[in-house]
Amino acid sequence: MRQRLEYMDLLKCFAIFSVLLGHSTEQLSGGLFWDHPVWGFIYSYHMPLFMFVCGFFFPSSLRRGYGEMALGKLRQLGIPSLTAYAIACLIMLAAGVTAIADLCEWSFAGFMNCVWFLKCLLFCYLLMHPLCRWLRKDWLAAIVATVLVILIPGTGIVNLNFMLPVFCLGILIGNRKEEVERHRVIWLVLSAVVFGVLLCFWSGHLTVYERPTHVIDLATGSFDWGNLGLTLYRLALGMAGSMTFYLLSKPVYEALRRWKWSGTLCRIGAATLGIYFLQTFLLEILINKLQVYVPIPHSYWVAPLLALAELALCYNLVRLLRKTRILRLLILGEKESMS
């Protein structure tokens, strides 16, 4: 049985807390989050970091055939995606509305936008598995996949054209983790310097939510060089941030492992997909519906408290859901109970 990398669970815990803090800041700011420094910083790395971690563990899926892998990922990611949209539809019917907090609506795009990360991750697995098998070289598969999703129009759905290259970076590092570990300090300094320099030019207005990734203008068919530059900049920023936090995760874990609560943090990290699912309804929809507004100066302490409370609540709900077989499957995508 493969030994669990607990420092990666700690990294996933940090990633999901970043998601909750970013969403808490957004929901409490009354529409002023675009220029909020905390929100902007988190949105420079948080979802790329999640995708990097998923790519890091991807190589193990190559030990299975495509059909077996696809069925497993459809269960793990596809079923919760359908469940989430079904819940959203019930909420919309009960409330008599056609959309919920800009998260989903009665349309195909609304379905794809609801818990979009799960669908994006599913597409990454379905695409990279055959590419890695056919091309045999992970670096060649990464190059081909990156060029394809950046150049082919329509791959912006569920942010695939932004997330897949970071997933590929995770694959490359996952296959070379021992070599990277031997030169950890050098890689950390390089990644942190690049991340810090690129952050100097970053703004919340440059996120894919305000400036979508596309390099081919669908209306004219012309090449958008300006957007290509922005796309490459965002990728470099997200990758540098992901590498920085990844390279910090092991020494931070070693420093924290003597504390009793370090085990809890790792267990939270192992439940990230369930927490992501639940926070969609408990944080992004519920708090948005309540229209709670906190002045920006107070948001620096209110948002972290809300994020911590949400993290504790969602984690304990995941533990409860795992006790019921049908809910474990529909919401968590898990066939067997996990500790």
Q: Give the pLDDT confidence score for residue 154 in this predicted structure.
A: 75
- Is the pLDDT score of 292 beyond 60? yes
Give residue-wise pLDDT tens across range 178-213: 999 999 999 999 999 999 999 999 998 988 888 877
Q: From residue 90, how far is each of 1, 105, 194, 314 by CA, in Å?
A: 42, 11, 45, 21
Flag whether the pTM goes above 0.85.
Answer: yes
Neighbour-count burial for 113-144, b at 16+ CB within 10 Å, e otherwise: bbbbbbbbbbbbbebbbebbeeeeebeebbeb
Give residue-wise pLDDT tens across range 9-31: 999 999 999 999 998 898 888 77
Give residue-wise pLDDT tens across range 62-116: 999 999 999 999 999 999 999 999 988 888 888 777 777 767 788 888 888 888 8
Residue with tokens 């936090």: 245
Q: From residue 13, how far is each of 18, 105, 121, 187, 232 by CA, in Å?
A: 9, 30, 18, 22, 27
Q: From residue 164, how far is each of 6, 18, 82, 101, 339 by CA, in Å?
A: 25, 20, 22, 26, 30
Give residue-wise pLDDT tens across range 220-250: 667 777 778 888 999 999 999 999 999 999 9
Q: Give the pLDDT confidence score for residue 242 in this predicted structure.
A: 97
- Is the pLDDT score of 4 beyond 90? no
- Is the pLDDT score of 1 beyond 50? no
Q: Which of 311, 52, 9, 290 is nearest to 191 (CA)?
A: 52
Is residue 154 within 8 A of residue 91, CB to CB? The reply is no
Q: At 65, which amino acid appears? A: G
